[in-house]
Amino acid sequence: MKERSRPWGQILGILLWLLGACSFDYGDAASDKGDLPDIVMKDVEYVRVRNGNPLVRFTAESAERYEKRQMMELRNFSFEQFEHQGEDINAVGQAGTASVELDSGNIRLRDGVLLTLDSEDVTLETKGLDWQDKERLLSGGETEQVDMQRSDGTNFSGWGFSADIRNRTWGFASGIEGTYIWEDDEEEAAEAEEETE
């Protein structure tokens, strides 16, 4: 994928940066178990700006940071990634819950995930996806069905979804079914010429 079309890692990296410096002390008993969050935020909205232009906007109904476990838990998480100096939205996504590993940048999206990447004309819908930041891999579990659609009518469903963002490849491990629409450029040119005559 082109550098600008890798929103998942960029968005989630920004989230880690934003929430990296906050902590509260509940005392020794609570912090030993790591059961209580070190910080709780409600109705979070964050916009990252570069040179006066918005890069990404995310919202969450709640965010809880657990320092001892190096984990961030988000509820009703959504994001938008901007391009062309903030004039266009390139990618959007949402999940019922998200768990962010602060040290690795890995993220688990659960409870209804919907991701749309306009630059690739792809929409993914599933119950859960995992992002491995270092490897730049997006994957669904072996028992989770993932539905993929494109605006041209192409649509696939299957289990064991994986996408290598660096190499711009994707696939399913099993149970794949759907329709792939292929349009020949020469046929499109001929059809366009006939329409103009």
Phi, psi at 177, each rounded to 5°: -155, 155
Query: Cα dihedral angle (101, 104, 107, 108), rounded to 10 degrees?
Result: -70
Per the CB < 8 A criterion, the answer to whether 7 and 90 are in contact is yes
CA-angle at 79, arms to 76 and 83, nearest 5°: 175
Query: Which domains are assigned to the chain?
Result: 3-196 (2.60.450.10)
How does pLDDT run across 58-84, given as a tens digit for each residue?
Answer: 899 999 999 999 998 999 999 888 887
Under DSSP, the state recorded for 119 is: G
Q: Is 103 exposed, middle or buried (0-12, 13-18, 19+ CB in 10 A)?
A: exposed
Model confidence at 16: pLDDT above 80: no
CA-angle at 169, arms to 165 and 171, nearest 5°: 115
Q: How many whole angstroms separate alpha carbon 134 and alpha carbon 154?
A: 30
Q: What's the pTM value of the predicted model, to 2 decimals?
A: 0.72
How does pLDDT run across 176-190, given as a tens digit for each residue?
Answer: 999 989 887 665 555
